[in-house]
């Protein structure tokens, strides 16, 4: 051991320093000892790996390598600290190239520095000094093969332990790429940067190989599928403010339903009676959950099969609803009382050309008004309306609720219906939080009315994705009074509420519409209601009011639903009976389902909308 003490010392110093920085310079939330332990060991694998190369070097090179590597790594750490002081976020490669962000930082970089920052380089200074003074610890003895082997095997093993522990804390950590804080907490800041580089280069390559001819094919397909808008409704909400609500984890099965004899969504049930309500509307999200729903709603593109497009392709060019509406004088804003970097929203919203993002720091959040994931929905809406009042009109806004999120925590004082009784704690607790969100929506509409923001608006509400996963099928079957949940039922359970409410219009002539549809259809539908022609745009959805809108929706896993059939897990089902039928019934739609997803993926991976945007510019 003695021979390699200098290498190990460098690792030890940087390791402890990194951990100290985690604890003092970043605000990383730790909820258990296990998380603390993961955080503690997380920098180690990377450091052992990098400094391990020193074992193969000659004396002079080795010492120089150790000091330089130690300096570079310390610098990366320090750069993150500086960045965090300004943005409360960690550096990502795209962010590094976002000139506006960096411009902000550039001006104030010296202001952000503190004298005590010398601490970040103390170990480097110490190592450098030791090399110069030829302190005995730095004396060189070549590493034996056996030691090198043992060293790297240990490093690898440690890496697996770290990853394994992280995976139990946060399943699918790498594929879902949650919050950066989550990645750093579990993988360590250095591995996080490596991961970020891999993500970046992969999408860069696909982008680089793409050319504008790929877009032409897709445009032809889209043009061929374009539907004439409904004449009566085209422009019916022209010039109105747009208010969109993302209802967390809300599935359609709770609408007009009861738990222990009590109505679960009394407000929505009434609201639906004054609105257009779509009862065959499906979510089409993948691993990106809420963010995928946002992506679908505002781009009419499919999210990705793996990963969250908000993370993997946040710097693509899009042509999202906020950007389109800008040309019609709209101001756009999102309201969500969570960390702004969650789902990489801060970056993605810029690409979608949002004017303003009201996030966690814009809200007054206390112990009392929070539960589970954060600010409760009622105070969220109350505080949001205060911000909303200040916006220029007409505005296009999106409100993202949070209380009805797994694990569906709620204080006793907020429970308006009892829990259900089954073997699934998750399903049992789902009903009171749904009921609470329903109440919050009621408060929201009341406040809008009080502030005079209701009459001249169009209000759209959608369930973002399922709340109860297949893991709870036994309890779900019990609740629905079925023997079991078949794959057919599973698809049917992916229906989420979709409501369009236009004061002065839908209250006079409400309608329940049973057209098979999905989140992908929201963008063209809304734009038509606002009187905006979409025939030149790239979108995979169709206006839900169009007379020739097909009864057809593709889910992100490739399942699809038509007027009469459901296709899932390589099986075709008859919708009337729920029974398996011959695959030939589903055959005619299979190609279309595959084609849609493939074309949409091509757009995202190739960043093809940049060619579209260029076309549009040339036309002007
Ligand atoms: C977090 C919220 C929940 O900001 O949108 O995300 P989810 O886990 O539902 O995707
Ligand atoms: Mn969600």
The CA distances from residue 484 to 287, 475, 477, 614, in Å, are 26, 9, 5, 52
Q: Which ligand 1 atom is the nearest neighbour of the CA of 342?
A: 4
401: annotated active-site residue: no
Task: Please report, in range form, the residues annotated as the binding site for substrate.
Answer: 405
Distance 465 CA to ligand 2 centre (A): 6
How many Å from the N-terminal Cα to the C-terminal Cα in the chain?
A: 71
Contact between residue 288 and residue 460 where contact means Cβ atoms under 8 Å apart: no
What pLDDT is recorded for position 396?
A: 98
Q: Which ligand 1 atom is the nearest neighbour of the CA of 246?
A: 5
Q: Which ligand 1 atom is the nearest neighbour of the CA of 465?
A: 9
Q: Which residues line ligand 1 (CB under 6 A)?
A: 289-290, 338, 342-343, 400, 402, 405
Contact between residue 353 and residue 325 where contact means Cβ atoms under 8 Å apart: no
Please compute, for residue 10, the number of CA atoms within 13 A of its CA located in the half-sphere on the CB side.
35
Q: What parts of the chain have a pLDDT lower than 50? A: 1, 98-101
Contact between residue 248 and residue 404 where contact means Cβ atoms under 8 Å apart: yes
Cα–Cα distance, 281 to 284 (Å, whole number): 10
Contacts of residue 196, Cβ cutoff 8 Å, sequence gap at least 6: 92, 93
Judged by its nearest atom, the ligand closest to the C-alpha of residue 338 is 1
Largest Cα span, the chain: 88
What pLDDT is recorded for position 183?
A: 86
Q: pLDDT tens-digit profile of 421-442?
A: 999 999 999 999 999 999 999 9
Extract the tokens encoding 350. 């810029």
Q: Which ligand 1 atom is the nearest neighbour of the CA of 338?
A: 4
Cα–Cα distance, 551 to 188 (Å, whole number): 47
What pLDDT is recorded for position 191?
A: 94
Judged by its nearest atom, the ligand closest to the C-alpha of residue 359 is 1
Structural domains of the chain sorted by starting position, each given as residue range(s) with its CATH number in brackets: 2-206 (no CATH), 235-543 (3.40.720.10)
Distance 393 CA to ligand 1 centre (A): 28
Among 92, 265, 285, 290, the active-site one is 290
Q: Which ligand 1 atom is the nearest neighbour of the CA of 292?
A: 10
Task: Please report, in range form, the residues annotated as the binding site.
Answer: 248, 290, 405, 464-465
Tell whether omega for the bond before 585 is within 30 degrees of 0, i.e. cis: no
Distance 521 CA to ligand 2 centre (A): 19
Contact between residue 33 and residue 92 where contact means Cβ atoms under 8 Å apart: no
Extract the tokens encoding 490. 């599973």
Pocket test for ligand 1, best of 29, 181, 338 (most atoms within 8 A of CB): 338
Contact between residue 28 and residue 188 where contact means Cβ atoms under 8 Å apart: no
Residue with CA at minimum distance from ligand 1 atom 6: 290
What pLDDT is recorded for position 99?
A: 45
Residue with CA at minimum distance from ligand 1 atom 3: 290
In SS3 terms, 400-413 reads as ECCCCCCCCCCCHH
Pocket test for ligand 1, best of 370, 402, 403 (most atoms within 8 A of CB): 402
Task: Please report, in range form, the residues annotated as the binding site for Mn(2+).
Answer: 248, 290, 464-465
Residue with CA at minimum distance from ligand 1 atom 7: 290
Cα–Cα distance, 399 to 412 (Å, whole number): 25
| Burial readout 193-225 (b: 16 or more C-beta within 10 A, e: otherwise) | beebeebbeebeeebeebeeebbeebbeebeee
Q: pLDDT tens-digit profile of 242-267?
A: 999 999 999 999 999 999 999 999 99
What pLDDT is recorded for position 478?
A: 98
The CA distances from residue 262 to 52, 214, 226, 257, 320, in Å, are 64, 54, 44, 8, 40
Distance 144 CA to ligand 2 centre (A): 54
CB atoms near residue 580 (< 10 Å): 13
Cα–Cα distance, 66 to 215 (Å, whole number): 50
Contact between residue 218 and residue 602 where contact means Cβ atoms under 8 Å apart: yes
Q: pLDDT tens-digit profile of 524-551?
A: 999 999 999 999 899 999 999 999 999 9
Judged by its nearest atom, the ligand closest to the C-alpha of residue 344 is 1
Residue with CA at minimum distance from ligand 1 atom 5: 290
Cα–Cα distance, 481 to 581 (Å, whole number): 24
What pLDDT is recorded for position 179?
A: 63
Distance 404 CA to ligand 2 centre (A): 8
Q: pLDDT tens-digit profile of 184-210?
A: 999 999 999 998 888 778 777 888 888
Distance 407 CA to ligand 1 centre (A): 12
Extract the tokens encoding 68. 């330089």
Pocket test for ligand 1, best of 177, 249, 290, 409 (most atoms within 8 A of CB): 290
Q: Which ligand 1 atom is the nearest neighbour of the CA of 464?
A: 9
Model confidence, pTM? 0.79
Residue carrying structure tokens 């094919």: 217
Judged by its nearest atom, the ligand closest to the C-alpha of residue 303 is 1
For 458, counting Cβ atoms within 10 Å of its Cβ (0-12 exposed, 13-18 middle, 19+ buried), the class is buried
Q: Specify the DSSP element, H or E, that contains 610.
A: helix 609-619
Distance 290 CA to ligand 1 centre (A): 5
CB atoms near residue 511 (< 10 Å): 13
Extract the tokens encoding 55. 């074992």
What pLDDT is recorded for position 5?
A: 86
């Amino acid at each position: 051991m003695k021979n390699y003490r200098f290498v190990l010392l460098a690792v030890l110093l940087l390791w402890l320093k990194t951990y100290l920085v985690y604890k003092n310079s970043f605000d990383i939330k730790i909820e258990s000892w296990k998380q603390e332990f993961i955080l503690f060991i997380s920098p180690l694998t990377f450091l052992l790996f990098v400094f391990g190369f020193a074992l193969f070097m000659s004396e002079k090179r080795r010492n120089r390598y150790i000091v330089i590597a130690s300096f570079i790594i310390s610098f990366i750490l320090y750069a993150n600290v500086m960045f965090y002081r300004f943005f409360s976020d960690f550096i990502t490669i795209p962010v590094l190239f976002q000139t506006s962000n960096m411009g902000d930082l550039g001006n104030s970089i010296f202001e952000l520095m503190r004298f005590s920052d010398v601490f970040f380089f103390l170990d480097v200074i110490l190592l450098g000094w030791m090399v110069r003074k030829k302190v005995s610890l730095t004396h060189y003895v070549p590493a034996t093969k056996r030691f090198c082997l043992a060293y790297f095997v240990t490093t690898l093993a440690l890496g697996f332990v770290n990853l394994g522990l992280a995976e139990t804390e946060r399943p699918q950590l790498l594929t879902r790429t949650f919050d950066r804080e989550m990645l750093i907490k579990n993988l360590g800041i250095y591995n996080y940067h490596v991961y970020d580089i891999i993500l970046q280069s992969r999408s860069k390559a696909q982008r680089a190989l793409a050319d504008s001819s790929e877009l032409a094919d897709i445009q032809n397909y889209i043009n061929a599928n374009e539907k004439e808008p409904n004449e009566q409704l085209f422009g019916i909400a022209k010039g109105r403010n747009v208010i969109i609500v993302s209802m967390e984890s809300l599935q359609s099965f709770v609408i007009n339903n009861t738990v222990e004899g009590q109505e679960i969504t009394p407000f929505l049930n009434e609201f639906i009676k004054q609105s257009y309500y779509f009862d065959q509307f499906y979510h089409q999200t993948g691993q990106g959950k809420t963010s995928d729903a946002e992506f679908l709603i505002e781009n009419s593109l499919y999210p990705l099969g793996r990963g969250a497009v908000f993370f993997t392709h946040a710097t693509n060019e899009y042509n999202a609803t906020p950007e389109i509406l800008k040309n019609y004088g709209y101001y756009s804003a999102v309201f969500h009382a969570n960390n702004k970097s969650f789902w990489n929203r801060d970056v993605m919203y810029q690409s979608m050309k949002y004017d303003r993002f009201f996030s966690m720091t814009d809200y007054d959040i206390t112990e009392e008004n929070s539960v589970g994931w954060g600010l409760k929905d009622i105070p969220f809406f109350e505080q949001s309306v205060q911000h909303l009042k200040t916006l220029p009109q007409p505005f296009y806004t999106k409100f993202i609720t949070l209380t009805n999120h797994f694990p569906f925590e709620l204080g006793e004082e907020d429970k308006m219906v009892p829990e259900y009784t089954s073997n699934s704690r998750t399903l049992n607790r789902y009903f009171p939080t749904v009921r609470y969100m329903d109440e919050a929506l009621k408060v929201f509409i009341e406040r809008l009315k009080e502030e005079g923001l209701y009459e001249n608006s169009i209000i759209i509400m959608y369930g973002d994705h399922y709340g109860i996963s297949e893991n709870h099928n036994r309890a779900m079957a019990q609740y629905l009074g079925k023997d079991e949940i078949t794959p057919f039922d599973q698809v049917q359970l992916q229906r989420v509420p979709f409501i369009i409410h236009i004061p002065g219009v839908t209250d006079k002539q409400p309608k329940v519409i049973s057209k098979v549809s999905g989140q992908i259809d929201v963008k063209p539908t809304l734009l038509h209601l606002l009187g905006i022609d979409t025939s030149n745009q790239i979108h995979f959805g169709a206006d839900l009011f169009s007379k020739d809108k097909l009864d057809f929706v593709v889910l992100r896993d490739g399942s699809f639903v038509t007027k009469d059939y459901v296709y899932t897990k390589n099986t075709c089902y008859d919708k009337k009976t729920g029974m398996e039928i011959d695959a030939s019934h589903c055959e005619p739609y299979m190609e279309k389902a595959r084609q849609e997803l493939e074309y949409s993926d091509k757009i995202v991976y190739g960043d093809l909308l940049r060619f579209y945007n260029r076309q549009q510019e040339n036309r002007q």
